[in-house]
Structure 1
Amino acid sequence: MSMSEPMSRGTGISGVVTGMALPFGILMLVAMMVLPLPAFLLDVFFTLNILMSLLVLMVALHTFRPLDFSSFPSLLLVATILRLALNVASTRIVLSSGHTGTEAAGKVIEAFGAFVIAGNFVVGIFVFIILVIINLVVITKGAGRVSEVSARFTLDAMPGKQMAIDSDLNAGVLTAEEATLRREDVAREADFHGAMDGASKFVKGDAVAGILILAINLIGGLAIGTLQHDLSIGEAAELYVLLSIGDGLVAQIPSLLLSIATAIIVTRVSSRQDMAQHIKGEISMSRAWFPVAGVLGLLGLVPGMPTALFVGMAAAAGGAGYVFRQAELREESGIQNDAPPEEEPSDPDTLKVTDVADLSAITLLLSYPLLTMVDAEDGGPLARRVTSVRKEVSQALGFVLPGVRLRDDLALPANDYRIKIGQTVVAENKIYPEHKLAIPSGTSRIKMVGIDVKDPSFGIDATWITPEREIEAEANDYVIIEPETVLATHLSQILYKHASELIGQDDVQELLDNLTGVAPQLVQSVVPKLLPLHSLTAVLRTILRERIPISDMRLILELLSEMASRNLSVAETAEALRPHLVALLIQQTAPLNDALPVVTLESSFEHLLINSAKQSEGEQLLLDGSLAERLVHSLVNINEEQSEAGKKPFLVVSPQIRRKLSTFLRQHVADFPVLSFTELPDGRKVEVVATVSGEAPISDAP
């Protein structure tokens, strides 16, 4: 037998005992109403009743919100049944044995009756009536009204709360698990306030029952004492009034405590503090205490008033106001009594690992003049543009990109910036924050005066101009771009290019966790049973290397499950997935109703590349230097011409050379997708915008 078995058995026995305690206790309460109890047990149960009432009151005082004591309605019902059972049991003893003396019903009833009556029956009756009025008319009635209104308002607010939860869930503020917990919380709140509305009736009925039981004990006791036991009216009154008042008080005190607890629960406002802290935090306003001190001081000067008492109270109120005012001043100045000691300044000679190891996945380094585009409060226009680019690229590629860290680098030349992926600088350029970039269009006739550059994103000739020349440039059909937009567009291009380096196993696991919510069996059957997490990550990196989105993880896993028996390599697996995913890339650049702009290779040139691919080893395509230069030059010119026309062309080649040619072009031509003929979507219009020949740079299609 393992060591865990005895522990599990013990836990099971404890659970059974706990589960049987309440039903057994309820049966005992019902039995108390029928079976006679000795005086000793009556004293024990009366003391237990007082203990329970005090405990419930203390718990109610220390809850942060009403729902923290959600078992209160049920507990109130059990306490009420206990008190009524004790009333029945005590009435039986009072009426049957009251003629023998005041100790007949136990020490507790005798002590309560003797202490309150103090030799005067009339005073005892009036004190009991006052307690009943306080309980029934003031506390119970008020708590019942609050419960009724709270239940009504809570039920009316439920649809709005549910809509707010759905809105937060759709906006991504809440996870599915958090939304489920919130909905359960709303349902429990409605159930609680509805139950409290009914439970308050128990307290009211208990108070009324206390009055009736007192009357029965008085009338019945006097009748039994005089008629059955031959006692005089005075003797019967001396015995039965004391016992009746004691019995009523010993039940009414716990009832009053539970009524107070009920009122506290239903009037409690949800907060992060218990009731005492909540009240203290809201009455500790110094500007409220000083007027109180002044008014009490003036009342103390009125002739006939107890001057010493009022002046003492005024001094106490003024002292409290002074203490609260000092606390307010400390809070305003940021000084806290329990603030930790300030850290000693670090030794400039001390070198920490954080000083030499930057774990940021994406870093944008800015020279000093470029810091004007970054505001200390909200990040400025550059930070907003960078955030927008990160969100846009994440949505396009199908996974959440890491955050971009903006840092200053005083070692950079003026107006320079660098983009780092991990620890590697992958791009750098210049921008001029006090200028604007003017890019000529096809109809621009004049040359703008300024700083001539190449656009960092697309390599187009452009000019940085001063703001005074902006109107002139627009009049001559120049496109004007803000400096932060130039940098953000360059960053966007870099993120697309290096997306495969930015996704890791943690990111893939996050995608799988998200898919588990809608297709749990699919995820469990593929990862890690058919494909380990690191292999899936490698496949997704290969797909992202050519900018194909991985947003449809359900389709990817279904295809991988079908390919599991083919024993493909990572590159072969990614190539097999491409025909099913390439439509996601095409729809981002070419609208569905527009013809797809494609570039083809001249037949003899393509056969030449096929033969070269067969002779090349590995993933590299070995080409003659002049031939490779003509190919690259042709595609660059085509890309520029089509970009000016607002089109994004695709190079379509034979499946035999697609992968090797794509690998070759990624090193020389920025963002020119390469598709195979088999990957073109069915039913999609295709427009051949150019044909590349090995002889001439470009041959326009007819």
Structure 2
Amino acid sequence: MAIRDLSVLLGVILIIIMLVIPLPGWLLSVFILINISLALIVILVSMNTVEALQFSIFPSLLLLMTLFRLGLNVSTTRSILSKADAGGVVETFGTFVIGDNPLVGFVVFSILVIIQFLVITKGAERVSEVAARFTLDAMPGKQMSIDADLNAGMISEQQAKERREKIENEADFYGAMDGASKFVKGDAVAGIIIVLINIIFGLIIGMVQMDMSFTEAVNTYMQLTVGDGLVSQIPALLIATATGIVVTRVASEGNLGTDVTTQLFRYPKLLYIASGTIFFLGLTPINFMLTTTIAAILGFGAYWLSKELEAPDLPTVDEEEEAESDHMKSPENVVNLLSLDPIEFEFGYALIPLADTSQGGDLLDRVVMIRRQLAIELGVVIPVVRIRDNIQLNPNEYRLKVKGNEVAKGELLLDHYLAMSPGIDDESIEGIDTKEPAFGLPAKWISEELKDEAELSGYTVVDPPSVVSTHITEVIKQHAHLLLGRQETKQLVDHLKETYPILVEEVTPEPLSIGDVQKVLAKLLREHVSIRNLPIIFETLADFGKMTSDTELLAEYARQSLASQITKQYVDSGGTLKVVTVSGEVEQMIAENVQQTEHGSYLSLDPDSQQTIIRSVTERIEQLSLQEETPIILCSPSIRMYLKQLLDRFFPQVVVLSYNELEPNLEVQSVGVVKVA
């Protein structure tokens, strides 16, 4: 352990020794001066801190210094009562304060104790209680404010983490100060009791055991007791004052001295008034020269401050131009422009109330819930959504960007509701024809007066914030694979390694790199397969990663391991999976045209064959659309990924499953066949 680590430990051991072993007078004097020095350092540090957390060790330090001071009291009391001597420092303090009148010294000491106990200690204790309670009460609001700033893109993830830690540290600090303030109060009470013990038993011991007269005993023990009380209570007073300063300190840009001078002398006119008041006091029997001098000093100070405020130090035009030029030349100024936000939501000025909490907007809170929901649903941490207004957009327009590219847009009418048709148009419901932005369904913007009527007619009616929340959710789902890069994959792997270290070590860095794992996970997300069950996926990669490095093939194996999850994703309410099957002829056509290369495999179908398959799939999809069924195609495992690659260019929403991705006891119903006409 380093010396600084041992210092506190040795100090506590020394305090214990002081409580047991008698100390010589010279050593007591050394410890008393150390006690005064430490108290002076503490109050100076407390005055120089900008915020309370800069002196976070204060509660623990308060306990240690209180214990040290009480240890000194025990040692000096033992020395006073046994030898009528407590060292040169105690005797000097007693002689200086008492002089020839012990009663005056005792009164001075009593006043000092009363000031500390009734004024400073009591106030610091109450302020500590209130600060602790209000800090705890304010924690939820501060946390929500941090989340809102994070979602708005005003701060980064790291800054949000630091702010949350600061809030937690503040709560811990003020909670500790609430308890530590009791030490200060107890120390003041103990000081009074110790002084009374020294006086009473000192008189008894002096007259009974040392054959002193009453006058000699009073002079001797009163002097030593008051001296001991002073050298004990002066540091205690400094510590109590430091306690009050720390708990009443409001976070600012300067220390206490800077804030006092800045705020107290901010208004020169008030100093003129104070100067005039002091001058008129001099017209009374009060000393005229003294009051006039003070009034003149205040008046000169007010004049000087007023001149300072009238002529603030402003940078010259040349300095401003030079600073601006240096800023533009700075390489960091260009580098900062290169970064892209993973997800951006931009909107026109008419949609500002959506995100403005002062106008009742809750978009920021909705985005927080969306990120949490998708993290649970997809198994991937969704990055912060940067929300900002854009004057280049139409007033009611918004758009969504992923990695800097626009992927979706829409329009909102904040004073209307979006009514989606049940399938039968009701001409009595008037509105502005539009399309629901997330799924492209026919809809109408209707006024609030028609909301109840539309709902009774079977329309699904939603408010604008819900419309945009649904759109954001669907866009993130569709592009989740683009948001999962190597860095994000590394974070997921590190998190998995905390609970499955052996499994992770068997997969990466050998035989698969983080890049290979990222490709497998991205392929799963691309087809809306959740990767939340990461242990199962890694078990599959551990089994097959040594056999092949083809990420396409590894993703297929992972899908088969997640058969139960995939099946539950697409079965209807009755537990039946309705699918379109693929004829053997089509499967053979695809299988025969798969080309193998050193970089993987791909489908190489001639255009006529492609059109034949696409035409057949189109017919089946149209039939399912009339029945409002999700288009799901079922085929053999060997051609699944190639058929999906072919259909992605024409029908990206079509789900393609293989027989190996179905649960054994699942009820499957064929509603059509993809075949060659």
Q: What TM-score, normalized to structure 1?
A: 0.69
Separation in 2, partners of 1:161, 1:382? 20
- Residue 541 of structure 1, aligned match among 518, 522, 528: 522
CA shift for structure 1 position 397: 3.0
Aligned residues of 1:148 and 1:197 also touching (Cα < 8 A): yes
- Residue 607 of structure 1, aligned match among 564, 585, 588: 585
Instruction: Give the match's secondary structure for 1:655.
Output: coil
Deviations 1:155-200 (A, max 9, x none): 9999989999999999999999998998788677656644553563
Out of 570-579 and 145-154, give the one that drifted further.
Answer: 145-154
Out of 131-140 and 473-482, give the one that drifted further.
Answer: 473-482
CA shift for structure 1 position 674: 0.3
Separation in 2, partners of 1:304, 1:415? 77
Aligned residues of 1:549 and 1:581 also touching (Cα < 8 A): no
Cross-structure match for 1:269: 248
CA shift for structure 1 position 456: 8.2
Count of residue pairs brought into register by the alignment: 646
Instruction: Give the match's secondary structure for 1:86.
Output: helix
Aligned residues of 1:296 and 1:313 also touching (Cα < 8 A): no
Cross-structure match for 2:672: 690
- Residue 200 of structure 1, aligned match among 168, 185, 188: 185
Aligned residues of 1:289 and 1:318 also touching (Cα < 8 A): no
- Which structure 1 residue ranges, 5 or more long, are not aligned? 1-10, 96-104, 696-702
Deviations 1:118-159 (A, max 9, x none): 4xx3x3x12322233234444235666568768988999999
- Aligned partner of 1:647: which letter? E
CA distance 1:346–1:147, change in 2 (3 Å)? closer
CA shift for structure 1 position 94: 3.4
Cross-structure match for 2:536: 555
Out of 666-675 and 396-405, give the one that drifted further.
Answer: 396-405
CA distance 1:409–1:200, change in 2 (3 Å)? closer
Separation in 1, partners of 2:129, 2:369? 48
Aligned residues of 2:39 and 2:239 also touching (Cα < 8 A): no
- Aligned partner of 1:652: which letter? L
Instruction: Give the match's secondary structure for 1:304.
Output: coil
Superposition pairs of residues 302-381 of structure 1, within 5 angstroms = 303-306=284-287, 342=320, 353=334, 357=338, 359-361=340-342, 378=356
- Residue 66 of structure 2, aligned match among 48, 51, 76: 76
Separation in 2, partners of 1:162, 1:345? 40
CA shift for structure 1 position 445: 9.1
- The answer to whether 1:659 aligns with 2:641 is yes
Superposition pairs of residues 488-527 of structure 1, within 5 angstroms = 495-515=476-496, 523=504, 526-527=507-508
Cross-structure match for 1:256: 233
Separation in 2, partners of 1:491, 1:455? 13
CA shift for structure 1 position 464: 9.6
Aligned residues of 1:299 and 1:305 also touching (Cα < 8 A): no
Cross-structure match for 1:4: none
Aligned residues of 1:599 and 1:651 also touching (Cα < 8 A): yes
Superposition pairs of residues 662-677 of structure 1, within 5 angstroms = 662-677=644-659
Instruction: Give the match's secondary structure for 1:213.
Output: helix
CA shift for structure 1 position 661: 0.5
Cross-structure match for 1:134: 111
CA distance 1:684–1:500, change in 2 (3 Å)? same
Instruction: Give the match's secondary structure for 1:661.
Output: helix
- Aligned partner of 1:606: which letter? G
Aligned residues of 1:609 and 1:657 also touching (Cα < 8 A): yes
Separation in 1, partners of 2:612, 2:302? 87
Aligned residues of 2:567 and 2:661 also touching (Cα < 8 A): no
CA shift for structure 1 position 429: 8.4
- Aligned partner of 2:585: which letter? H
- Residue 570 of structure 1, aligned match among 551, 564, 583: 551
Separation in 1, partners of 2:18, 2:397? 85
- Aligned partner of 1:71: which letter? L
Cross-structure match for 2:154: none
Deviations 1:472-518 (A, max 9, x none): x9799999999999998787666545433331111112223444565
Aligned residues of 1:76 and 1:199 also touching (Cα < 8 A): yes
Separation in 2, partners of 1:414, 1:144? 60
Q: Output the aligned Cα RMSD.
A: 6.0
Instruction: Give the match's secondary structure for 2:633.
Output: strand
Aligned residues of 1:42 and 1:90 also touching (Cα < 8 A): no
Separation in 1, partners of 2:272, 2:528? 72
Aligned residues of 1:143 and 1:200 also touching (Cα < 8 A): no
Aligned residues of 2:493 and 2:504 also touching (Cα < 8 A): yes
CA distance 1:323–1:520, change in 2 (3 Å)? farther
Separation in 2, partners of 1:319, 1:648? 86
Q: What TM-score, normalized to structure 2?
A: 0.71
CA distance 1:620–1:207, change in 2 (3 Å)? same
Cross-structure match for 1:102: none
- Aligned partner of 1:539: which letter? V
CA distance 1:495–1:148, change in 2 (3 Å)? closer
Separation in 2, partners of 1:551, 1:422? 23
Separation in 2, partners of 1:168, 1:668? 45
Cross-structure match for 2:40: 54
Separation in 1, partners of 2:89, 2:513? 74
Aligned residues of 2:268 and 2:303 also touching (Cα < 8 A): no
Out of 345-354 and 529-538, give the one that drifted further.
Answer: 345-354
CA distance 1:416–1:518, change in 2 (3 Å)? same
- Aligned partner of 1:54: which letter? L
Separation in 1, partners of 2:305, 2:421? 68
Out of 63-72 and 385-394, give the one that drifted further.
Answer: 385-394
CA distance 1:62–1:609, change in 2 (3 Å)? same
CA distance 1:374–1:644, change in 2 (3 Å)? farther
Separation in 2, partners of 1:336, 1:644? 76
Cross-structure match for 2:380: 399
Separation in 2, partners of 1:415, 1:183? 41
Separation in 2, partners of 1:438, 1:588? 28
CA shift for structure 1 position 396: 4.2
Larger CA Rg, structure 1 vs 2: 1
Instruction: Give the match's secondary structure for 1:620.
Output: strand
- Which structure 2 residue ranges, 5 or more long, are not aligned? 151-156
- Aligned partner of 1:541: which letter? A
Separation in 2, partners of 1:355, 1:114? 69
Aligned residues of 1:373 and 1:382 also touching (Cα < 8 A): no
CA shift for structure 1 position 537: 1.0
Separation in 2, partners of 1:85, 1:337? 61
Cross-structure match for 1:31: 21
Aligned residues of 1:94 and 1:240 also touching (Cα < 8 A): no
Instruction: Give the match's secondary structure for 1:551.
Output: coil
Out of 142-151 and 638-647, give the one that drifted further.
Answer: 142-151
Aligned residues of 1:113 and 1:249 also touching (Cα < 8 A): yes
Deviations 1:350-377 (A, max 9, x none): 99856995634456899xxx77656898
CA distance 1:493–1:198, change in 2 (3 Å)? closer
Separation in 1, partners of 2:327, 2:205? 93
Out of 85-94 and 487-496, give the one that drifted further.
Answer: 487-496
Out of 50-59 and 372-381, give the one that drifted further.
Answer: 372-381
CA shift for structure 1 position 621: 3.1
Aligned residues of 2:195 and 2:226 also touching (Cα < 8 A): no
Aligned residues of 2:481 and 2:522 also touching (Cα < 8 A): yes
Separation in 2, partners of 1:16, 1:542? 56
Separation in 2, partners of 1:286, 1:184? 36
CA distance 1:532–1:206, change in 2 (3 Å)? same
Out of 276-285 and 647-656, give the one that drifted further.
Answer: 276-285
CA distance 1:12–1:563, change in 2 (3 Å)? farther
